[in-house]
Amino acid sequence: MTILLFILILLAAGATLYTLVRGVIGMAQGKDLTGQRSQELMRKRVMYQAIAIVFIILFLLLASGKN
């Protein structure tokens, strides 16, 4: 179970990083004049971060329960 959670943590962290990079590149290009796309990417990034944090908490709870 801990291996599965570790993989899920990596996936959530990877999704967070991917969304962050897309947002930074989008802002650097300056194509999004209204900021709507930037806001959408920021919401997704925060959601992926929250999911990663939940998985990390579950991982730590399972790891501490084995001792």
Domain of residue 12, residue span: 2-65
pLDDT at 21: 95
pTM (predicted TM-score):
0.84
Question: What is the C-alpha separation between 53 and 12, in angstroms, rounded?
Answer: 9
pLDDT band at 58 (very low <50, low <70, confident <90, very high): very high
Number of domains present in the structure of the chain: 1
pLDDT at 1: 81
What does the pLDDT look like over 7-47, one tens digit per residue?
999 999 999 999 999 999 988 888 877 889 889 999 999 99
On whether the CB atoms of residues 63 and 16 are closer than 8 A, the answer is: no
pLDDT at 67: 61
**27 or 49, which is more confident?**
49
Q: Write the DSSP assignment of the chain as a string of letters.
A: -HHHHHHHHHHHHHHHHHHHHHHHHHHHHT--SSSHHHHHHHHHHHHHHHHHHHHHHHHHHHHHHT-
